[in-house]
Amino acid sequence: MCNLRRIKFNCGGPYSTGVPAFRSTLAALVVISLLFVLSAGAARAQEAGHVAPLNARFLEYMGQKQAAELTGAPLVTIPPGGRPTGHIPSTIDFSYLRASAVPRATGKVASYPASFDLRSVNKVSPVRDQGDCGSCWSFGALASVESVLMPTVTSFSEQFIIDTHGFDPGPCDGGNELMAIANMAGHGIFAENLYPYQYWWPTEYMPATSSAWAGAYISSVQLIVAGLDSNGNPITTNIKNALYSEQNAVTVGFMVDQGSPYLVETNGQWCYYNNTNTMGDGHVVAIIGWDDNFPASNFGIQPPGKGAYLVKNSWGTFWGNSGYFWMSYYDKSLGTEAWVFNGVLPASTYSWTYQHDPLGWVYNYGWGSGRPTAWMANVFKGSPNGKVIRAVSFYTVDPGTQYSVEIYDSCPTSYSPSGAVVNPVGGKLLYSSSGAFASAGYNTHHLSTPVTVSLGTSPDVNFSVVVKLTDTHGYGWPIPIQGQVSGYTDRSYAPYGQSYVSLTGAVGAWYDLANAKQGFKACLKAFGTPN
């Protein structure tokens, strides 16, 4: 397969068929899965699981990307006077979320007002301009983060995210919400005034930015169901709950069809209703309000019913309604999944991050249908800057996921011709706790009693974090892992002795993900302080 990383692209227009390229990409990913299964079988066949199928929209996109390189044609044509977007479909097929109860939000109130606007409670940061750069995904994600801390914090750095995410696409070549989460979870968040944005339009003024926080950690990002249900009815409760009950902006993707009857100015307002089924592909924005009585007649193509979301865009204040627009509840392109960055901590909270997964959630891993319980473990070397473990973070693929967390010190280590072999549950048990996370997404378990681990002063001194996950909706791939996908996460690399999975969690029943040869690592972090 040719090198895909040289291509610049801005997602935002309709996909062409790209069938040969799509089949080539799909075939390559099938080979990856087969290699993973075969190498796993050579190690411990009874313990090796497999990855869930990737998102078909992502595979189609990668086929388009490959075709663009082969033909020299641009991946997306931006219409005259149009703006760049930048959303890459996620690798995860979130259609499994539909199999269980909707809505899936927590803290719901009995009823919501007919309309609401986060600006009325000063929880919306200023409109920004992504300029000539496919970076909408970073602006949409940080709009949600900033809403948590408004009015204290007005702007974090999109530039830091697009410069340091570590995925194959370049800074202006697009991304998605999972890429943003991985970057924030792995590197933290910088203030805008410490790492300013570079790609604004020459005709735009550079907005004044300030922040009382030099940086931050994210501790929670809720994954909620959005869009339309199977009967074509809008799912609004989850979004309303995040906006009204939690006062957080909601990050979501949709297909913006610029210069078409879908996007119109009516009665002094910009309105959008896309009647094509291209869920979540193209552009990322932040929902900041709603109006149940917004007239359907305001849209260029009339939707089946009234009601609209108020949306904050990243095309500057000279676009739309001072940077905002209304999107119909019935928009068929609105993403199935939406994200609420609702947990933010000061950068001084922790001094050290233990992690093997800087690229975060790329695959779902497990033993398949009927086996919703699985274990994962990461092995680390203790650092003086983080010898006191205070928190553990990981993704949960479904709301209501039950979990247990264990931390072991001085895990037995041996060596084979391939590399280190560590027993992640064979050391001294320092901590054990269990619970459940109400929401899917990125979650943090704060230790009820911090524990001190041994310092990794020799090759044989390690500690492990072990997590058991049970998907209460029965989904059989409950473990999020990082791994290689050609042209997307080629930098994922997995040495032996770092990251393990198990069907039973028993001693001797752990499979080293390095055997997969595709850079697989469990998405599991620990956070510490010196004392």
Write the single-letter amino acid at 463: F
What pLDDT was estimated at residue 100?
A: 52
Q: Quote the number of domains for the chain.
A: 2
- Per-residue pLDDT for 169 more than 90? yes
Tokens 């910088």 label which residue?
190
Average pLDDT of the segment spanning 186-195: 92
Q: What is the CATH number of the domain that holds 298?
A: 3.90.70.10
Instruction: For residues 186 and 313, state if they share a domain.
Output: yes
Q: Mind listing the pLDDT tens digit for each residue in 238-252?
A: 999 999 999 999 999
Residue at which a domain ends, from 326, 342, 358: 342
What pTM does this model have?
Answer: 0.89
**Residue 459 clears pLDDT 90, i.e. is over it:** no
pLDDT of 211 higher than 60: yes
CATH of the domain at 457: 2.60.120
Q: What percent of the chain has pLDDT over 90?
A: 71
- Which tops the pLDDT comparison, 51 or 416? 51
| Whether 334 and 382 share a structural domain | no
The verdict on 290 and 432 lying in the same domain is no
Question: How far apart, in whole angstroms, are the C-alpha atoms of residue 168 and residue 471?
Answer: 31
Domain identity same for 151 and 283: yes
Which residues, including other chains, have CB under 8 Å from residue 531's CB and lie 6 or more apart? 387, 388
CA atoms of 346 and 253, how far apart (whole Å): 28
- Per DSSP, the three-state class of 516 is helix
Average pLDDT across the chain, whole number: 87
Largest CA distance in the chain: 72
Least confident of 14-28, 255-269, 413-427, 496-510: 14-28
Residue 68, in any domain of the structure? no
Least confident of 1-10, 156-165, 451-460: 1-10
Q: Average pLDDT for residues 50-57, to the nearest whole number?
A: 95
Q: Which two tokens stand for residue 228?
A: 């339309």
Residue 44 has pLDDT above 70, yes or no: no
Tell me how far CA of residue 458 lies from CA of 383, 413, 454, 461, in angstroms.
Answer: 12, 11, 10, 6
Shared-domain flag, residues 219 and 284: yes
Average pLDDT over residues 174-183: 97
Domain boundary among 342, 369, 392: 342
Q: Average pLDDT for residues 156-160, to the nearest whole number?
A: 96
Of 285, 319, 342, which one is at a domain's C-terminal end? Answer: 342
Do 166 and 148 belong to one domain? yes
Q: Are residues 331 and 359 in the same domain?
A: no
Q: Is residue 96 in some structural domain?
A: no
Question: What is the tens place of the pLDDT at every residue in 313-339?
Answer: 999 998 999 999 999 999 999 988 999
Q: Is the pLDDT of residue 45 over 50?
A: no
**Shortest CA distance to 423 belongs to which of 497, 476, 488?**
497
Range of the domain at 155: 115-342
Q: How far apart are CA 438 and CA 222, in angstroms?
A: 9
> Are 314 and 387 within one domain?
no
Give the DSSP per-residue string, 188-202: -EEBGGGS------T
Across the range 417-426, mean pLDDT stands at 91
* Residue 2 confidence (pLDDT) above 60: no
Is 410 a member of any domain? yes
